[in-house]
Amino acid sequence: MEYKKISDHCGYYQAAVNIGYIHADGKGFLIDAGLEAAAAKKVVKHLQSNNLPLTHLFITHAHSDHFGGARYLKENFQIIVIAPDLEAAIIENPVLEPIYLFQGTYPVQELRNKFLEAPSVSVDRKIQAGTETIDGVSFQIHSFPGHSYQQIGIEFDSILFAADAYFGVEALYKHKIPFIVDYKKTLESLAALSLLRVKGSVPGHGSYEESYQETVQINIEWHQQILKLTEEFVKQQGACSFEALFAYLCRQKDVNIPHLSSFLLFRTAVGAYIAQLIESERAIFKIEDYQLIIRANM
């Protein structure tokens, strides 16, 4: 995990999941906490050896890889934990993620793993989009829903910490069908990102880029292509089961699904593309012979 300095005030620890850092007015703000305590410990070690403060932690959204290290930080340091309201509900009750992925059924033990359920941590301050002044330091908080329900991005000193509002190109290639819960909001967040006037941006997975708009454009086209595949299959079949459509998209994108956790993550993402067809009236849901059928309406 390497610390990459962006400006006098901003930098990030680059890893599979990036952890941002803002240093201003004698205070130190982390942006996300990594998958587990080990990642947070490395960050703390670097901060301490460079005499840098740690006073606050922003959690951009309630995915385990972004807040798994938060409890360690909270238990060992005097920090204020900050998150948006709905994400905070999951951060404080992390079993909610395996619950929603398992369609509300109480999750089987296999799903109660560190990738889906981080240790709970209490959130001290709930924030919303807009200008937020936190202990004398002002931030621009951006609302980037779509990848999660109420994800935020944090702008300071004209540097944007975009969380998972977009993925670095390598991460896109790796995930193939990126995790989203809402197609329309994902695309709206990407459009809002392209219009921002900032010096550069750090995604949750990827590298800091000044001309990040090109990467955002690749993300937009990536999602549009998956929606197109979804729409074409439904149109060509006339009607198909959710399972048939899911399997078709996974085969087309050559997705690797080794276990139940990844199956449920991909099923949720595919559900978001199907929901977009339903909400834009290009398809309808039907229950036929006890099965969920997607019928073309175009």
Give residue number: closest CB to Zn ion. 63
Distances (CA, A) of 238 to 68, 99, 135, 264: 43, 32, 57, 25
d(CA 150, CA 94): 15
For Zn ion, the closer CB: 177 or 293:
177
Binding interface with Zn ion (CB under 5 A)? 63, 164
Least Å distance, CB 194 to Zn ion, is: 20
Nearest-CA neighbor of 39 among 62, 61, 20, 52?
A: 20
Least Å distance, CB 60 to Zn ion, is: 8
The two tokens of residue 247 are: 């399997």
Least Å distance, CB 179 to Zn ion, is: 6
For Zn ion, the closer CB: 55 or 186:
186
The two tokens of residue 195 are: 């219009």
Least Å distance, CB 61 to Zn ion, is: 6
Distance from the Cα of residue 211 to its chain's centroid: 21
Distance from the Cα of residue 130 to its chain's centroid: 19
For Zn ion, the closer CB: 63 or 71:
63
Distances (CA, A) of 213 to 102, 125, 168, 218: 35, 31, 11, 9
d(CA 223, CA 221): 5
Least Å distance, CB 211 to Zn ion, is: 23
Least Å distance, CB 147 to Zn ion, is: 6
For Zn ion, the closer CB: 28 or 98:
98
For Zn ion, the closer CB: 28 or 34:
34
For Zn ion, the closer CB: 155 or 164:
164
